[in-house]
Amino acid sequence: MSKDKKDQNKEKKNELQTTSVRFVNEVERQFAAEMGSTLEFTDHQKKLAQHLFLKTSNALDEWEGKRIKNNQKNKKPFTWNNVSIKNLALEAVYKVNLGLDALMKNHVHPVPYYNKKTGKYDVNLQTGYKGLKYVAKNYAIDPPKDIVIELVHKNDHFKPLKSNFEREVESYEFEIENPFNRGAVVGGFGYLVYDDPTKNELIIVTNKEFEKAQNQSPMDLIWNKHEEKMKRKTVVRRTMDHIDLDPKKINAKVILHEDSGNTEAKVDNELNNDANAGEVLDITEEVEEEFRKAEESKDEQPEQEEEKPKEKQKLQQGEIPMDEKPTGTEGPDFG
């Protein structure tokens, strides 16, 4: 490796460390503002903030690599200089308060959205299935012992066993009778298991509910290409809606934030698979990229396209206004 390359890598590493420190400090500052000055920002929470920074930094590197590979010069580089760190730090406060660890698989997924008003990327921290399960088990009024999620195909055997005067515990029968030809998905169900079996709850999601979720979603392309995963995600969300968080265990602002952040339109990139089936829970890289492209196609960056001829003319005339900066050279936005 040449000396110049080593110097560049060292400089990049130093810049990243500086941004990391400033990010964690910003999270700590906003933690006090949101959660109240009486709550201490612990060493463990500081570590969780650092993990969020690392996860987001790795994600930015991946997206930037794809931007370069696809020759998308009209888009701003996916760098920390082009991220609204103040907004990201506020998002991080809620995830940190929940105890979610971004370096744990499927706890948190960073997804960027280009904000035309600020000219920066807002990074949304989406709670993954295992993150939801962690929250449910740790902060619910009555935490479930287990959470089962399944899709039911046409050739499967499924029979709900609702509680009645003869059956005290609500349950179900489910058998995959032909694993190599299960047929189309006709519905799904979630099952909440409690220490007291009489509290067990079966949540059934019909095909009509899948259709309703798809019709309400702006991401019709993803539904068409990843139908089963989107249906499983719908079952997960419907099931989680039956678990109430305890305001005595968690800050009320966090509960409101999670509720508002988990709408169907905002989490259409959360594609959940069932842990009980031994599958990966949550979004794939391919689908995450498709979601981001679909999101950005609704909110393109026309001002950059339109300014190119104007900027070229100014350069030819030797005139560059003091308030204009080349794309991607702005510092991290902490303000």
User: Scanning the structure block, which residue is given the tokens 């012992």?
Assistant: 145
pTM: 0.67
User: How high does pLDDT run on average in the chain?
Assistant: 77
Q: Which of 8-22, 172-186, 248-262 has the lowest mean pLDDT?
A: 248-262
Residues constituting the chain: 335
**Closest to 133 (Cα-Cα) out of 190, 202, 195, 204:** 190
Q: What is the mean pLDDT of residues 327-332?
A: 45
What percent of the chain has pLDDT above 70?
68
**Closest to 23 (Cα-Cα) out of 85, 81, 65:** 85
Question: Assign residue 71 a region: left if phi > 0, alpha if psi is -120 to 50, beta otherwise?
Answer: left
Query: What is the DSSP track for 194-242?
Result: -SSGGG-EEEEEEHHHHHHHHHH-S-HHHHHHSHHHHHHHHHHHHHHTT
Kindly indicate the confidence band of residue 259, based on its pLDDT and cuts at 50, 70 and 90. Answer: low
Q: What is the mean pLDDT of residues 180-195?
A: 97
Chain centroid offset of residue 80 CA: 18
pLDDT in tens, 34-50: 776 656 788 999 999 99
Contact (Cβ atoms closer than 8 angstroms) between residue 215 and residue 230: no
pLDDT at 83 (0 to 100): 92
pLDDT in tens, 125-172: 988 878 888 888 899 999 999 999 999 999 999 999 999 988 999 999
What percent of the chain has pLDDT above 90?
38
pLDDT at 265 (0 to 100): 39
pLDDT in tens, 278-289: 233 344 444 555
Q: What is the mean pLDDT of residues 71-91?
A: 90
Q: Reduced to 3 states, what is the DSSP secondary structure of residue 190?
A: strand
* 328-331 contacts, C-beta under 8 A, 24 or more apart: 328/76, 328/77, 328/79, 328/81, 328/82, 329/81, 330/81, 330/82, 330/119, 331/81
Question: For residues 247 and 302, which has the higher predicted lDDT (pLDDT)?
Answer: 247
CA separation for the pair 198, 176 (Å, rounded): 26
Q: What is the mean pLDDT of residues 231-244?
A: 90
